[in-house]
Amino acid sequence: MINLLDFDAAGLADWFAQLGEKPFRARQVLRWMHRFGIDDFEQMTDVAKSLRAKLKEVAEIRGPVPVRDNTAADGTRKWLLDVGNGNAVETVFIPEANRGTLCISTQVGCALECSFCSTGRQGFNRNLTTAEIIGQLWHANRMLGAVKQPGVGDSGERVISNVVLMGMGEPLANYDNVVAALKLMLEDNAYGLSRRRVTVSTAGMVPAMDRLRQDVPVALAVSLHAPTDALRDELVPINKKYPLADLMAACRRYLENAPRDFITFEYVLLAGVNDSDADARALLALTRDIPCKFNLIPFNPFPDSGYRKPSAERVRHFQELLTRADVVTTVRKTRGDDIDAACGQLAGRVR
């Protein structure tokens, strides 16, 4: 059985062509699946009965299988999704006053072994398929009652207005499936999200950053975490392959074609490791000629991490050092930590 959630718009059109069907049929089905959240061909009322019957024989629309659904005190909601063979990944919805953000996973586990990340500690099992990646948005839309109604125009309002690829895994290490899912997020007949509101976060896979800029430029966040190669080699081992000078050059190239005119640098603050005044000054020097914003993430603890979160005072001071140099710097609010939904706490189940 072919899972139609595995196709982006172009892929679905090709597949319909092979069936001898017109491109507009593919568009109809795409809309039913993604816009209206339908997984039953029988409900696709404007699709010819004979085609519905044919589709039922050879294809399915199979979303993820939720095995847990938790809501935190602050409204953050987390789903654990079964992806087979004992593996499971997590998806988090973060409601805010003026937007709703869905944080989705791209791999079962992660191979990059960043020292402070609980996903990294679990090792890597496999890449998620396109269906499993876009399926997280498909599923969350349905669960949040956010699917559109057929016959009602698109008001532009979105319960899920933003998507960040900041869950489990390194998105750019699963390039093709991530790109197909990104295209669906932006596609008018699917989710119609603004490319400024879809963010890929990477630990710094330089060649894939260059490809993304060509294939589907979306907002980019880079997990920086250290101002020097010596320290970054230790915290983010992929740095040994793509050191800071290469990474900074890739950021500059990305900006030539990016939907936003800045890169977001994520910086997890680890007490006594990367949170000194000298670190802040070195960061400013490193990023001097890159239009950027900083997003500081006070370390979220997990068992046996070996790291501590800096005091609120230290975090404020570090922020101020950057802000004083005119670099816009926010501190990421911890959301959903009572259900282990905060950054770096997504663990899922990795076999």
Catalytic residue positions, numbered: 90, 343
Binding of ligand SAH at residue 208 (CB under 6 A)? no
What does the DSSP 8-state code read for residue 86? T
Nearest to ligand SAH of 12, 172 (CB atom)? 172
Burial 100-112 (b: 16+ CB within 10 A, else e): bbbbbbbbbbbeb
Q: Which one of the spans 11-19, 44-52, 84-92, 293-301 is the region binding ligand SAH (CB under 6 A)?
A: 293-301
Residue whose Cβ sits closest to ligand SAH: 344
Contact track, ligand SAH, 107-146, x by CB under 6 A? -------x-xx-----------------------------
The sign one gets for the Cα dihedral 260, 265, 266, 269 is negative
Nearest to ligand SAH of 297, 327 (CB atom)? 297
Nearest to ligand SAH of 60, 229 (CB atom)? 229
Distances (CA, A) of 249 to 47, 71, 255, 276, 289: 49, 41, 10, 25, 10
Give backbone dihedrals phi and psi of 339, rounded to 5 degrees, phi first: -120, 25
Binding of ligand SAH at residue 220 (CB under 6 A)? no
Would you call 321 helix, strand, or coil by DSSP? helix
Nearest to ligand SAH of 158, 309 (CB atom)? 309
Return the residue of 79, 138, 242, 299 that touches ligand SAH, per CB under 6 A. Answer: 299
Closest approach, Cβ 163 to ligand SAH, in A, equals 13
Return the residue of 28, 136, 189, 201 that touches ligand SAH, per CB under 6 A. Answer: 201
Q: How far, in Å, CA of 5 to CA of 44, rounded?
A: 15
Binding of ligand SAH at residue 265 (CB under 6 A)? no
Q: Which one of the spans 82-90, 129-137, 197-205, 247-255 is the region binding ligand SAH (CB under 6 A)?
A: 197-205
Q: Which one of the spans 29-37, 189-197, 294-302, 311-319 is the region binding ligand SAH (CB under 6 A)?
A: 294-302
Distances (CA, A) of 111 to 37, 271, 347: 32, 25, 14
Binding of ligand SAH at residue 223 (CB under 6 A)? yes
Closest by CA to 266, choosing from 245, 287, 238, is 287
Q: How far, in Å, CA of 73 to CA of 69, rounded?
A: 14
Binding of ligand SAH at residue 90 (CB under 6 A)? no
Q: Which helix (H) or strand (E) holds 80?
A: strand 77-84
Binding of ligand SAH at residue 76 (CB under 6 A)? no
The distance in angstroms from the start CA to the end CA of the chain is: 25
Closest approach, Cβ 334 to ligand SAH, in A, equals 9
The DSSP secondary structure of 265-316, one letter per residue, reads EEEEE-TTTT-SHHHHHHHHHHTTTS-EEEEEEEPPP-TT----PPPHHHHH
Q: Which one of the spans 79-87, 131-139, 242-250, 296-304 is the region binding ligand SAH (CB under 6 A)?
A: 296-304
Binding to ligand SAH, residues 225-244 (CB under 6 A): none
Would you call 121 helix, strand, or coil by DSSP? helix
Residues that bind ligand SAH in the complex, under the rule CB under 6 A: 114, 116-117, 166, 170, 201-203, 223, 266, 268, 297, 299-300, 343-344
